[in-house]
Amino acid sequence: MTGLRWELFRLAWREHPGLSALIVVYLSVGLASFAAIGLTLRALVEAARDGHVRTLAVAAASAAVAFSLDWVVGHLGISLRVHLAEKVGVTRITPELMLLSNDLPEIEHLERTDFQDRLTILIGQGWALGDAPWAVLESIFLSLRLLVTLAVLGSVDPWLLLLLPCAGAQLWLESFGRRRMVAAQLAAAEDQRLQRHLFADVCVNPGAAKEVLVAGISSRVATLQRHAYDRALRTRVGGLAASGRWSAAGWALFVAAFTGAIGLVAATGSPGDVVLAVVIGTQLRAAVEHVVHRSAEAANRITVLEPYRWLRAYAAQRRPAPGRPAPTRLRDGIELRNVTYIYPGTSREAVSSVSAHLPAGSVVALVGEYGSGKTTLVKLLAKMCSPDAGKILVDGIPLPSVDTVSWRAGMSAAFQDFGRYQTTFAESVELGDLGSPIDDAVAAADAETLVARLPLGHKTMLGRRFGGVELSEGQWQKVALARACVRPKPLLFLLDEPTASLDAPSEQAIFERYMERARRIAALTGGITVIVSHRFSTVAGADLILVMRAGRLVEAGKHEELTKLGGIYADLYGIQASAYASRSA
């Protein structure tokens, strides 16, 4: 981590040398002025006692300047540090992280929950990364401040240096207490999240509140929320109190020693020495607390530094290898040869030794129950993951040797779990191919009536998050479909449950346009359309139907062939067919 901090430190110096230098200057000035406070006050008291007016004037002015400088520089130091941390973190580090994440060809890091947990920590924490080296620097300066303070005391009477081990013990007890507090905060986090969920997602959210109102359970939910809140509060306060007890014990020790020291000074030293000792002694608390607080803060930055380091190492390992450009048209098609895929961290074969030929210019449907491996197969075709065994060949060329970016530039997709972009309708669609016209795509997705109903048409803001219009599931799906249609002639068009939330007439309209479009594209480039669906409406018209079960390809053929076969496909089809057949007459 030290290396990483050092790198971040150099980044700050490179980007903002003046600001970085200023912070170091302020830290040094703070150190000097803090030490000067005690010394100048002693001089002041001594000069008053001795009646040296010139010395008095200098001492008075210096004491005033030392006090004020310490105060002002303290303020400025903090705000400058925040300022620099924001500038470096928010404008440099966070975009770097975003690109780092997005430039990874595969998305395992976004799908695995243990990786996702790490990445979540980084969101909105760019400034904490930018601040990481400065937190360390500040805690070093604060420790120096402590040492200087004690050195000044030692100049009064070397015996006072014995306070140093006492301060050390005090620091130790204080940081011990602090660890208790941090542990308590972590322990309270779950109840904290639970109470927030029950409050924000349930009690005051109109969507959920209607269920609460109907069931008449508002007081029970409120009680559950209150209990979680109180538990979290108790745990946190318990940690703070434990931390308080440790530091109080530490202070009792230190104050006892310090009182003895003052007694010594009062008995042997001058009045000025007494003033110096007391002033420094009382400021020591703030100094020690700062050291502990800032060191803990610097240590806490580990929580963001660790995922940052992890992501960079992970990305460095998986940098995409350059490959040959993707073909511009397909002649033969895509061939799967014994393709097997196991999700990292699991042992089950999500796709198990699948072999199939997807002919150029065809519409292929993937059918199967939940978890049968359809979506994984789609992801393999998009190079979102690579087979653990077996091969995928595009016109005979192995897919891994094809450049990922150019392969994707030649495809388009609408996934089951699609993005709901909280921006204007036009932009949400245009994301499908930035800079291209969207009108044809909107028509292809049967979304014209949706646009007509939006208050500002294309310019309507979508989604509740930024005060836009909230769409129904089906309407969001149309936006996603339109986005998938912006690229005019994809070589590979992947549709994973594209119409699950649409009503039947819409689905039918879209599907008919799709088929027509797919045929047109097929004629132009030999492009392949792959559709995953539970719907027989979508499936029946395909050139090839692949039936998956538990990761294996169990049936393949046309609708008529498969219904005659009497296997899984015929069975699933039969469940729905019988609902119409049995009693209608």
Binding status of residue 547 toward another protein by CB under 8 A: no
Hey, which bits of 214-263 come out as E strands? none
Work out whether strand 411-414 and strand 333-342 pair parallel, antiparallel, or are unpaired. unpaired
* Of 137 and 378, CB closest to another protein: 378
By CB under 8 A, tell whether 218 contacts another protein. Answer: yes
Q: How far apart are alpha carbons 80 and 71 in whole angstroms?
A: 14
Does 251 participate in binding another protein (rule CB under 8 A)?
A: yes
Taking contact as CB under 8 A, which single stretch among the options 7-15, 161-169, 390-398, 413-421 is the one that binds another protein?
413-421
Task: Show the tokens assigned to 152.
Answer: 């000044």
Q: According to CB under 8 A, which one of 12, 69, 146, 326 is a site residue for another protein? A: 69
* Contact flag: residue 75 with another protein (CB under 8 A): yes
Question: Structure tokens of 56?
Answer: 């008095």
CB atoms within 10 A of CB 67: 16
CA atoms of 59 and 51, how far apart (whole Å): 12
Which ranges in 438-503 belong to alpha helices (H)? 439-444, 448-453, 473-484
Query: Which residue lies nearer to another protein by CB, 285 or 329?
Result: 285
Position 532 contacts another protein (CB under 8 A) = no
Counting Cβ atoms within 10 Å, is residue 386 exposed (0-12), middle (13-18) or buried (19+)?
middle
The Cα 357–Cα 336 span in angstroms is 6
Q: How many residues bind another protein (CB under 8 A)?
A: 171
Backbone dihedral region for residue 557 (phi beyond 0: left; psi -120 to 50: alpha; all else: beta): left
Find, among 389, 396, 379, 382, the residue nearest to 354 by Cα. 389
Contact positions with another protein (CB under 8 A) in 357-376: 369-370
Instruction: Between 10 and 465, name the residue whose CB sits nearer to another protein.
Output: 465
- For another protein, the binding residue among 8, 36, 47, 553 (CB under 8 A) is 47
Q: What is the smallest separation between the CB atom of 4 and another protein, expressed in angstroms?
A: 20
Q: What is the x/- site pattern for another protein, positions 99-138, by CB under 8 A?
A: x-xxx-x-x--xx-x--x--xx-xxx--------------
The verdict on 432 binding another protein (CB under 8 A) reads: yes
Instruction: List beta partners, residue 367.
Output: 547
User: Contacts with another protein in 299-358 (CB under 8 A)?
Assistant: none
Q: Please identify which residue in 21, 25, 98, 456 interacts with another protein, judged by CB under 8 A.
A: 98
Among 431, 509, 550, 556, binds another protein (CB under 8 A): 431
For residue 223, give the amino acid letter.
Answer: T
Please identify, using beta-carbon distances, which residue of 447 and 522 lies nearer to another protein.
Answer: 447
157 Cβ neighbours under 8 A, 6+ residues apart: 261, 264, 265, 268, 269, 273
DSSP 469: B
To the nearest whole angstrom, how small is the minimum distance from the Cβ of residue 163 to another protein?
13
Closest CA to 381 of 477, 490, 534: 490
Per CB under 8 A, 240 contacts another protein: yes
Confirm or reject binding of residue 212 to another protein (CB under 8 A): yes
Residue 80 in contact with another protein, rule: CB under 8 A: yes
Q: Please, which residue, 98 or 523, has the CB nearer to another protein?
A: 98
Q: Please say which residue, 6 or 95, places its beta carbon nearer to another protein.
A: 95
Question: Which residues does residue 339 pair with via DSSP β-bridges, in sequence order?
Answer: 354
Name the residue nearer to another protein (CB basis): 259 or 328.
Answer: 259
Q: Which is nearer to another protein, 124 or 165 (CB)?
A: 124
- Decide if residue 71 touches another protein (CB under 8 A): yes
**Which DSSP state fits 158?**
G
* Relative orientation angle of helices 218-268 and 271-300, to the nearest 10 degrees: 150
- Interface of this chain with another protein, residues 499 to 528, rule: CB under 8 A: 501-505, 507-508
- 3-state class (DSSP) for residue 269: coil
Of 27, 326, 411, 481, which lies in the binding site for another protein, with binding defined by CB under 8 A? 411
- Interface with another protein includes 536 (CB under 8 A)? yes
DSSP secondary-structure letter at 124? T
Q: What is the DSSP string of 271-304?
A: HHHHHHHHHHHHHHHHHHHHHHHHHHHHHHTHHH
Is 534 a residue that touches another protein (CB under 8 A)? Answer: yes
If the CB atoms of residues 523 and 581 are measured against another protein, the closer one turns out to be 581
Site string for another protein, 146-185 (x = CB under 8 A): ----------------------------------------
Residue 537 touching another protein (CB under 8 A): yes
- Closest distance to another protein from the beta carbon of 502 (Å): 7
